[in-house]
Amino acid sequence: MAIWLVRAGSHGEYEQKFIQENRVYVTWDGLDADLRKLHDRKELVDLMGRIYPDAKPKTIQNWASQVWPFAHEIKQGDLVVVPLKSQRVIYIGEVLSDYHFEPEGPNPYYHWRSVKWVGEAIPRSNFSQDILYTFGAFMTICRVQRNDAEARINAMRANNWQPESLRAATVQPTATDEEGVVAGPDLQELARDQIARAIEAKFKGHDLTRLVEAILQAQGYTTYRSPEGADGGADILAGAGPHGFGQPRLCVEVKSGSTPTDRPTVDKLLGAVTKFGATEGLFVSWGGFKPNVQKELAASFFRVRLWSQKELLEQLFSTYEKLDEDLKAELPLKRIWTVTPQDQ
């Protein structure tokens, strides 16, 4: 049984389609040819060269090395790993079908396989750094096998996707497929994984509320933080201005666990907004949210905001220089510059 990485768009634009339809797709625009009729990769390279005449030869070779396995090498029973962009979690599905070609599309949904999600919203931090390194490769589709990844991921599945604990991570510099195409890491994702691990280590449990409060204070809010224990529906109350009497007035709930938050739990925050006389609610869930939460809360768009780990990190980065010096000493971060990878 092999394990494959399949991305749902460079910005996560196909995530909900993957999850809701229980399918994984090849998402190259305009690739409207039945890949089963191609006999080898060279035919695919020639086809993609005609479809994408402005692409460089090495780029076409790279693309073909990713698309070919989707149609010809993935098998029923294999696992597919789908890292989400909208939340810092990972979905893992078991492949149930052979390759399907849908000539009518719509574009780019011509090629798909059905899956059963056997791991939903698994926190990235549950995976060791060397496996996350592979997940962070700049490839849309590739096989995951370095560092005994297949056996280790299967062991995690047998343990209900609990974090690895028996093996130390060993980071490898690069991964290369059999065509010689380098699958370099996404350095930004790797850095965020390291920062997330540092936050988990230093801001456990109720301490995550302290970090969220510091971010809100850096944004100009005056805050009240409930002591640890029963909070009556609000971990933080925050009002704009130096005395906290301005608008907006926020009622904030913070969940530090790794379990995705469901819709009924978020609804309780809406009740707390009324109870405390707030104008808006902010729900911070380190473990992310169930897939239906964001969609079903559209009617409450002007009353509540959701921060998963992704949004919390973005807010941390945007306010870091304004944070209290003691807190920055607990979580020392440094901004760096690096070259943006370009197509070959």
Q: What is the pLDDT of residues 107-128, one digit of tens each?
A: 999 999 999 999 999 989 899 9
**Domain final residue, candidates 131, 154, 185:** 185
Average pLDDT over residues 275-296: 92
Q: Are residues 242 and 324 in the same domain?
A: yes
Residues 6+ apart with CB under 8 A from 273: 251, 279, 280, 281, 303, 304
Residue 73 reports pLDDT greater than 80: yes
Report the C-alpha gap between 93 and 88 in whole angstroms.
17
The count of C-alpha atoms lying within 13 angstroms of the C-alpha of 270, restricted to the half-sphere facing its C-beta, is: 14
Closest CA to 90 of 112, 115, 119: 119
Q: Which region holds residue 120: left if phi is over 0, alpha if psi is between -120 and 50, else beta?
A: beta
Question: pLDDT band for position 173 (50/70/90)?
Answer: very low
Q: Is it the case that residue 175 has pLDDT exceeding 80?
A: no
Residue 344 counted as domain residue: no
Contact 273, 305 (CB under 8 A): no
- Is position 341 within any domain? no
pLDDT digits (tens, 9 = 90+) for 19-54: 999 999 999 999 999 999 999 999 999 999 999 999
Q: Which domain holds residue 250?
A: 201-330
Q: Are 100 and 116 in contact (CB under 8 A)?
A: no
pLDDT at 333 over 80: yes
Q: What is the pTM of this model?
A: 0.79
Q: Is 249 contained in some domain? A: yes
Write out the H or E segment, with its range, that includes residue 154. helix 149-158
Last residue of some domain: 185, 211, 240?
185
Residue written as token pair 């869930």: 285
For residues 217-242, give the mean pLDDT: 91
Per-residue pLDDT, 8 = 96
Q: What is the pLDDT of residue 169?
A: 40
Average pLDDT over residues 209-219: 97
- Total number of domains constituting the chain: 2
Residue type, 52: Y
Residue 42 and residue 75 share a domain: yes
Q: Span 264-287, mean pLDDT?
A: 95
Task: Tell whether 124 and 219 lie within a shared domain.
Answer: no
